[in-house]
């Protein structure tokens, strides 16, 4: 079995695995996100130690990374994290040091594009060519696979930053996105729930009005992306979506907001098949990185 390295690069931790697939993970390590140099040195050491101690070759590395990122292979700063507010991490080369130290092909994409690829390979979107993956957690991001490839374009999609209808009578909370205030992330991420309700989302009981409001915003975003991109499936992951009561609420409001216009039985009769939780659970990110690596050498 060919082995691949996967790195889920996040703002608090880098999760590294060596695997041939989800059922064959040979090694795994969580590395705290500190300074770029220290973090990447620790990542490199993990992969080097594995190949030196086992004499097994790794074919390629995949990095599913927090952003924003430069994904344009023609750009001089390809493989960099660009304008992140995370201290010390703006304009940091991620791909360069990994490639130089490990001498492997490196596939690089956003964390959510990576998770989408993972869900397509082994999770809730197997066999599908056109689908979306969202994380609703500390931030909100969307990854998109169309014709079997991730969408990049000018930079890469930032689906968490669309502006949503905001009824200020029902919800006077102004939103916390530093760029847009009441965008999707500003209104519906975990920290925005904590800010609005005065306690962490994890401590709000299932019958709290917070969840109907949360579902309203997620459904408004679904209205935008289901109309705009016609995905065959939308996977909703991230910590906040562990509140399972959100799924029926989001599905019903999405259907209501689409209002019978899009003539597909998947929307009209089987919306449970359209909006689903991740098949890989919280492993989507790191397994997605492995799937990115696999695709790099196929």
What are the residues binding ligand ADP (CB under 6 A)? 10, 135, 137-138, 190-191, 200-202, 238-240, 242-243
Q: In what order do the strands lie in the sheet with 24-32?
A: 24-32, 13-21, 3-9, 58-65, 106-110
| Residue among 286, 204, 216 at smallest CA distance from 243 | 204
181 binds Zn ion (CB under 5 A): no
Q: Please check whether residue 185 is in contact with residue 193, taking contact to mean a CB–CB distance below 8 angstroms.
A: no
CA atoms of 253 and 220, how far apart (whole Å): 8
Shortest Cβ 192–ligand ADP spacing (Å):
9
Shortest Cβ 219–ligand ADP spacing (Å):
17
The interface region with Zn ion, picked from 105-113, 130-138, 183-191, 276-284 by CB under 5 A, is 183-191
Q: From Zn ion, ligand ADP, none, which one binds at residue 141 (CB under 5 to 8 Å depending on kind)?
A: none
Considering only residues 159 to 178 of the shown chain, the ones binding Zn ion according to CB under 5 A are: 161, 177
140 binds Zn ion (CB under 5 A): no
Q: At what angle do helices 209-229 and 190-197 cross, to 10 degrees?
A: 150
DSSP one-letter string for 243-285: -TTHHHHHHHHHHHHHTT-S--HHHHT-HHHHEE--SSGGGHH
Shortest Cβ 238–ligand ADP spacing (Å):
4
Q: Distance of CA 139 to CAs 111, 209, 225, 234, Å?
A: 12, 21, 18, 18
Q: From ligand ADP, Zn ion, none, which one binds at residue 241 (CB under 5 to 8 Å depending on kind)?
A: none
Count of residues near Zn ion by CB under 5 A: 5
Q: From ligand ADP, Zn ion, none, which one binds at residue 21 (CB under 5 to 8 Å depending on kind)?
A: none
Contacting positions for Zn ion (CB under 5 A): 161, 177, 179-180, 183
């Amino acid at each position: 079995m060919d082995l691949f390295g996967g790195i889920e690069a996040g703002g608090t931790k880098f999760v590294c695995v060596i695997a041939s697939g989800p059922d064959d993970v040979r090694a795994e390590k969580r590395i705290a996100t500190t300074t770029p140099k220290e973090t990447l040195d620790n990542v490199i050491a993990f992969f080097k130690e594995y190949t030196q101690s086992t004499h097994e070759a790794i074919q390629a590395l995949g990095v599913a990374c927090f952003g924003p990122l430069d994904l344009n292979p023609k750009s001089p700063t390809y493989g960099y994290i660009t304008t992140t507010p995370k201290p010390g991490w703006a304009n940091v080369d991620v791909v360069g040091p990994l490639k130089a130290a490990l001498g492997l092909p490196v596939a690089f994409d956003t964390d959510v594009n990576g998770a989408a690829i993972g869900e397509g390979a082994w999770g809730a979107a197997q066999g599908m060519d056109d689908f979306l993956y969202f994380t609703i957690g500390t931030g909100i991001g969307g990854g998109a696979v169309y014709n079997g490839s991730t969408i990049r374009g000018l930079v890469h999609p930032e689906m968490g930053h669309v502006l949503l209808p905001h009824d200020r009578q029902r919800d006077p909370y102004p939103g916390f996105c530093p760029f847009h205030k009441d965008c999707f992330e500003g209104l519906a991420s975990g920290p925005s729930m904590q800010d609005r309700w005065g306690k962490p989302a994890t401590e709000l009981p299932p019958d709290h009005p917070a969840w109907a409001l949360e579902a309203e915003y997620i459904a408004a975003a679904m209205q935008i992306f289901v109309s705009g991109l016609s995905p065959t499936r939308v996977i909703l992951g991230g910590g906040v979506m562990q509140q399972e009561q959100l799924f029926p609420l989001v599905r019903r409001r999405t259907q209501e907001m689409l209002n019978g216009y899009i003539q597909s039985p998947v929307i009209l009769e089987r919306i449970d098949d359209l909006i689903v939780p991740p098949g890989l659970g919280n492993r989507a990110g790191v397994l997605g990185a492995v799937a990115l690596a696999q695709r790099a050498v196929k």
